[in-house]
Structure 1
Amino acid sequence: MSSLTLRISEDIKRQLEVLAQATGRTKSFLAVEAIRAYLKTEEWQVAEIRRAIAEADQGDFAEEEEVQGVRDKWQRDAG
């Protein structure tokens, strides 16, 4: 396993210490879990953006009726 040095604010450090004590986990474990969750989310978003760009490059856009249907659904659900 590799190591990584990070500079974090005192506030984040305190929060990490409190959570580590409350959960019985190490600060390192919690930090790795937080980074893992962040990377998973970011990887998903980047993959979706790349797929959308590929679709757009191929001219695959939503029809006006599809867009209007989604807009109508959001307006109904919001009201």
Structure 2
Amino acid sequence: MTGISLNLPEDLSNSLADLAKTSGQTASYLAVDVLRDYIEHEKVLTSQIEQAVEEADQGKFATDEQVAATRARRWNSNAG
């Protein structure tokens, strides 16, 4: 494993130490876990954005009806 040094704001460092203590994990383990999740999320998001740009470049856009249906589904799922 490769080492890295980070300078964290005191409040973040304290929160990380507290979470490590309560979870029984090391601060390093938690930091690696969070970074791994963040990087994976960003890779997926970037891929989705690139695909959307390609589709837009090809003139593929959602219809007004599709947009309205998506909004309605999201509104209904968030309302309850």
Question: TM-score, normalization: structure 2?
Answer: 0.81
SS where residue 3 of structure 1 aligns? coil
Q: Given the superposition, is the C-alpha separation of residues 5 and 74 from structure 1 closer, same or farther in structure 2, using an over 3 Å criterion?
A: same
- 1:8 maps to a residue whose letter is L
User: Percent of counterpart pairs with the same letter?
Assistant: 38
Give the superposed CA RMSD.
Answer: 1.9
Residue aligning to 1:68: 68
- 1:18 maps to a residue whose letter is D
Residue aligning to 1:42: 42
Question: What's the offset of the Cα at 1:75?
Answer: 8.5
Unaligned runs of 5+ in 2: none
Q: Which is further off, 60-69 or 44-53?
A: 60-69
In the aligned structure 1, how far is the partner of 2:30 from the partner of 2:20? 7
- 1:32 maps to a residue whose letter is V
Question: TM-score, normalization: structure 1?
Answer: 0.82
Q: Given the superposition, is the C-alpha separation of residues 23 and 69 from structure 1 closer, same or farther in structure 2, using an over 3 Å criterion?
A: closer
Unaligned runs of 5+ in 1: none
In the aligned structure 1, how far is the partner of 2:52 from the partner of 2:65? 19
In the aligned structure 1, how far is the partner of 2:19 from the partner of 2:8? 15
In the aligned structure 1, how far is the partner of 2:36 from the partner of 2:16? 16
Residue aligning to 1:11: 11
Question: What's the offset of the Cα at 1:19?
Answer: 1.1
Structure exhibiting the larger radius of gyration computed from Cα positions: 1
How many residues align? The count is: 77
